[in-house]
Amino acid sequence: MEQASYRDLQSDRRWSTVRRMVLCALLTLATVHCVESIFVDNLSFMNLTSYENGTEQMPFQGRVAMIPVGRWAEKSALMKRESAWIELRIFHGANKRLEPFSSSKVAYLTVGMMASLLAVGFGVFIGRRYLPGVWWLPSALFIYMLYVTYAARADAHYWYPYDLPHFALFGIAAICLLEGWWIAAFLLFLTDLPVRETSVYLVPVAIAMAYARRQWRAMSWAAAMLVLWVVVRVLISRHFAGNASDSRIHWEFWAPALRNPYRWGQLASAFGFLLIPFIWGWKYLNREERFFVCGAIPGVLLTALYGVWYETRIWDEWLLPAALLMSFQAVRAINRGHVSGLLIEERPSIAYRARTAQIVSS
């Protein structure tokens, strides 16, 4: 009897491993499909040659991290072969594409693919850490929202070379702040600094998390992030001072976006149509998660002020932490409401339990 039970246990473990492998493969394929769709179904908003030569308008030119990638690709025999292969084998005959697959575009796609897979892999890691029953859910939500807001476009169908690396670096750094991994968050912030200026949105999140945990010394991390951001952006602005600039509030797009029914669907597609349900699920967030959201609000509002609303990829840097928080909400809503008798295991953070007990006792 004991031997049969042991065999059953081994069989369950093997089947569990197979299911994990299958789900990981599906997440990988979904990520590849999403990134390929972004680059095939969209157009580059920027002139890539001007960007690589340093003459594109600001603020696009100021996002300098991908410039070396494009310059290298234009000289790389490997990227040129890949570009020719894609043009011949994928877009030959009846298949059409909106723009040629240059060697630099292939390089940007490759970097974007690696960054997106990194984000999905981190989502799996954090899912297994806290939601072992549905560990795949944060990554699946991230891919879904990225596809809806970036690939599935009826209007403003543009891609940018630095977006996907920024979404991955920023999203992982934001979750590190939520976890209290200050050094990791700071290093990711440093990496993201030259990628996009909106990396500064991590500063209010860092302040909010330090306040939520009563970790006053951690405020120094936020101060260092802000100082470094100012230094880097001043240097970049001075270097490209002669470039034309589109750094302004695009108020002329607000009224047309609201009164044109054709764009209402894209306006609502921010965060994959899940923003309002996320707000409704506020009660399912714990104290630290609520402080995190409050720290994110300034960045979200600034993006709304300067961005074009129906180009909903402008908020995609928040997708990875949003996917994690939405997963928490879904699991807690099911577990607390006993929906259809279903319970899903969730492991609360040990550090969070200890901090909560300390706050209550004080």
**C-beta separation of 165 from 186 below 8 A:** no
d(CA 207, CA 209) in angstroms, rounded, equals 6
Specify the pLDDT at position 315. 94
What's the pLDDT tens digit per position in 182-207? 999 999 999 999 999 999 999 999 99
Triad 134, 140, 146: Cα angle to 5°:
155
Specify the pLDDT at position 253. 79
> Is pLDDT above 80 for 88?
no
The amino acid that residue 359 corresponds to is I
Cβ-based burial of 344 (10 A; exposed 0-12, middle 13-18, buried ≥19): middle
Q: Mark 110-133 as b/e (b = at least 16 C-beta within 10 Å).
A: bbbbebbbbbbbbbbebbeebbee
d(CA 45, CA 94) in angstroms, rounded, equals 25
- For residue 102, the tally of other CB atoms under 10 A from its CB is 19
d(CA 282, CA 332) in angstroms, rounded, equals 11
> Is pLDDT above 50 for 93?
no
The amino acid that residue 131 corresponds to is L
The amino acid that residue 93 corresponds to is G
CA distances from 359 to 175, 212, 287 (A): 22, 10, 11
Mean of the pLDDT values across residues 98-126?
92
What six digits make up the tokens of 297?
């609000």
What's the pLDDT tens digit per position in 14-43? 667 888 999 999 999 999 999 999 998 888
Lowest mean pLDDT among 87-96, 162-171, 203-212, 250-259: 87-96
Question: Which residues does residue 245 pair with via DSSP β-bridges, in sequence order?
Answer: 58
Question: Which residues does residue 298 pair with via DSSP β-bridges, in sequence order?
Answer: none
Mean of the pLDDT values across residues 287-310?
93
Cβ-based burial of 296 (10 A; exposed 0-12, middle 13-18, buried ≥19): buried
> Is pLDDT above 60 for 173?
yes
Q: Of 136, 164, 133, which Cα lies nearest the Cα of 34?
A: 164
Q: What is the pTM of this model?
A: 0.88
143 vs 266, residue with greater confidence: 143
**C-beta separation of 140 from 151 below 8 A:** no
Lowest mean pLDDT among 35-44, 57-66, 79-88: 79-88
pLDDT band at residue 9 under the 50/70/90 scheme: very low
